[in-house]
Amino acid sequence: MIPELGHFALILAALVALVLGTLPLIGAHNNRLAWVAVARPAASALALLVTFSFACLTHAFVNNDFSVVYVAQHSNSLLPLQYRVAAVWGGHEGSLLLWVLMLTWWAFGVALLSRQLPEAMVARVLGTLGLVTFGFLLFILFTSSPFERLLPGAEEGRDLNPLLQDFGLVIHPPLLYMGYVGFSVAYAFAIAALLSGQLDTAWARWSRPWTMAAWCFLTLGIAMGSWWAYYELGWGGWWFWDPVENASFMPWLIGTALIHSLAVTEKRGSFKNWTVLLAISAFSLSLLGTFLVRSGVLTSVHAFATDPRRGIFILIFLVAVIGGSLALFAWRAPKVGLGGRFALVSRESLLLTNNVLLVVACATVLLGTLYPLLIDALGVGKISVGPPYFNAVFVPVMTPILFLMGVAPFARWKEASLAEIARAVRWALAPAVVVAIAIPLVYGTWSALTALGLLLATWIVATAVLNFAERVQSTRAGRSFLSAALTQPRSFFGMHLAHIGIAVFVVGVTMVSSFQDEKDVKMAPGDSVDVAGYHFTFKGVRAVEGPNYVAAQGEFDLSADGKFLRKMTPEKRNYASSAMPMTEAAIDAGFLRDVYVSLGEPIDREKPEGEWAVRVYYKPFVDWIWGGCVLMALGGLMAMLDRRYRIKSRAAAAVTTPAGSQQA
């Protein structure tokens, strides 16, 4: 009965989404206040209905209701509770329902937290989100319902894909989808601004915190996915340029350009059309990623959630959303002025250059992802585009971006001087050069690419420190340096923290790419192997039993300089529901390095107590990759919480306060 209630709630949600996507938009256009007023309660009702439906599906998983086809396909009575909950989004149907759930929550957030905005603008934003939600709900109801019954019910489920039975499944998809879907709010604000013709600084101010929130979630989601692949797959890699990884990375690149473009539109009234186009592009790429992942056209490590039969529906929806948005942009954009003018050398021009380079970087990733599909569709042949292509085209594009990241904060708005900027940043060059030369020599090998990465990372940190000190010094007004520093806007702190996060990320990528060491060896109990000064001694394997698997657990003693550090216990798991063994690596993580060991296969399957193929790694600074992402997200959070985004709210409250009621 509960699954039927969940299905019925989705049908009601689709009707509410249709109402939300029509009446408020028509009301805002025709100035019908009663229809405009429908937007907020409809968004609340929509979020409630989809949440209830999602809870019904979760109930089916938690209670092992194998009469539901989706539960029978993706769960098992032996599956631990946390994975039964996470299995709700472990397949195609549930992941789409999670997408819609996030979309309705974002819409509810806009309805709840945008009381200070004009009602007509809110109606247009929520109406746009309602139409997108309606499209996704139709897709679920007609092609991907998670509530279909299996009669008679199965006695036992097939179990969740062993690759997904990990804590990463609990965290990674919700974070990623919150980022993906969050760009729908920026998209909705852009469409609302085009419909109303109000492409002004106020629109940018309203849209910017929502965009930064989505960017923060997407940053953390991508980082979590990278970390999950690193420790789960047993390859020791953190990024594979997998097509589905690319599908999440492209919106991140455009989203990064968008938050900088919104800043210029908010402060200077420039880049209006460019900002709208970036907002449309960010959400369009999120939808494209959905199409690529869910249509079955891609073969990747994420291919467990594909079905080609549904591709045509997604493609039609994709064309409708993107095509309609671009048509509206082409119609309304020429009526918008160019905004504030600026010189060739100015903060605006530097930010524009960075934005263009970010778009070019996104285009290179898009080309590398879609070109093999195009070649295959034309019947010309099959090609594979892998890391060599992406590394070759991505590094040259990102290098000037990282350089300009340090320069732009020193440039004045509207017009700046190259000589003045050069004088301001000259002290950052020396430490960058010293670090670029010294660190590779300390690690024993100097190369141009390694030096370039460390040079750019140090450059970003040094310029951030200089810019911060310069800003504080100019605003001291007789106060101490510390008190003046604490009064700086949160967005200023957030900007530099995010930039330092990128520098930390670059250090991690550079060091692990240049100085990692690995060995694939055959080891019998008692054998040892050395990697980068670390000594591994293989003690043997023993059988261990988990809730739904049996595993061969290896035991290794890790030591360095003759000193015992710890025992490491990698596993080779065999799940009851799958013939495919799974690798669980053992990692000794440290601030400056990870030491990593994973079991391969027994040399003689009849004698698992004997020799094994073993893979050991030394990975310097690898954790800085994910630490940098966390710093980026924290920087975005600080900028999002800047007090100026509450000025409008306070002003609105002041207007509604009766004259003379305020105390002096």
Please compute the mean of the pLDDT values over residues 101-123 and round it to a whole number.
93
Q: Which amino acid is at 369?
A: T
CA 225, 228, 233, 235 torsion: positive or negative? positive
Chain centroid to Cα 587, Å, comes to: 25
Enter the tokens of residue 658: 């009766």
Q: Which residues contact 307 (CB under 8 A, 6 or more apart)?
A: 92, 144, 294, 295, 296
Q: What is the DSSP letter of 234?
A: S
CA distance 637 to 494: 7
CA distance 259 to 354: 12
Residue with tokens 């039609």: 316
Look at residue 496 and give its three-state secondary structure.
helix
pLDDT at residue 58 in the model: 97
Per residue in 259-290, pLDDT (tens digit) is: 999 999 888 888 888 899 999 999 999 988 87
Q: How far is CA 547 from CA 215, 364, 410, 575, 576, in A?
A: 37, 45, 58, 9, 10
Percent of the chain clearing pLDDT 90 (strictly above): 59
Q: What is the pTM of this model?
A: 0.91
Which tokens hold the place of 609?
């107590």
- According to DSSP, residue 66 is labeled T
How far apart are alpha carbons 403 and 422 in whole angstroms?
13
Round to whole Å and give the CA distance between 432 and 426.
11
**Helix H or strand E segment including 624:** helix 623-640
What residues does 531 pair with on adjacent strands? 534
The pLDDT value recorded for residue 344 is 86
Using one digit for the tens of pLDDT, what is the confidence trace for 571-589? 999 888 777 788 899 999 9
Q: Are 377 and 320 in contact (CB under 8 A)?
A: no
What CA–CA distance (Å, rounded) separates 325 from 280? 7
Unique residue bearing structure tokens 């990990």 = 166
Contacts of 339 (CB under 8 A, 6+ apart): 265, 268, 269, 270, 271, 272
Radius of gyration of the chain (CA): 27
**Whole-angstrom distance, CA of residue 130 vs CA of residue 27:** 14
CA 599 and chain centroid, separation: 31
Contacting residues for 661 by C-beta, under 8 A, at least 6 apart: none
Residues 6+ away with beta carbon under 8 Å from 354: 257, 260, 401, 404, 405, 408
Mean pLDDT of 212-238: 90
> 282, 258 in Cβ contact below 8 A?
yes
Whole-number Cα distances in Å, 412 to 261, 428, 488, 490:
16, 19, 18, 20
Of the candidate ranges 233-242, 616-625, 641-650, the one whose mean pLDDT is the lowest: 641-650
- Determine the Cα–Cα distance for residues 460 and 455; give it in Å rounded to an integer: 9
What is the distance of C-alpha 517 from the center of its chain?
29
Contacts of residue 63, Cβ cutoff 8 Å, sequence gap at least 6 = none
Which of 9-18, 323-332, 452-461, 601-610 has the lowest average pLDDT? 601-610
What sign does the dihedral 371-374-380-386 (CA atoms) show? positive
Report residue 337's pLDDT band, with 50, 70 and 90 as the boundaries: low
pLDDT the model gives residue 297? 57
DSSP 407-466: HGGGSPSS---HHHHHHHHHHHHHHHHHHHHHHHHHTT---HHHHHHHHHHHHHHHHHHH
Q: How confident is the model at residue 308 (pLDDT cuts 50, 70, 90)?
A: low
Q: Could you give the C-alpha distances from 403 to 256, 400, 407, 432, in angstroms and in order?
A: 16, 5, 7, 11
pLDDT band at 615 (very low <50, low <70, confident <90, very high): very high
pLDDT tens readout for residues 355-405: 999 999 999 999 998 888 778 767 777 777 888 888 889 889 999 999 999
Measuring CA to CA, which residue among 525, 584, 585, 589 is closest to residue 557?
525
Q: Where are the alpha helices (DSSP H) in 475-527?
A: 481-486, 490-515
**What does DSSP assign to residue 658?**
P
pLDDT tens, residue by residue, 486-537? 888 888 999 999 999 999 999 999 999 999 999 999 999 999 999 999 999 9
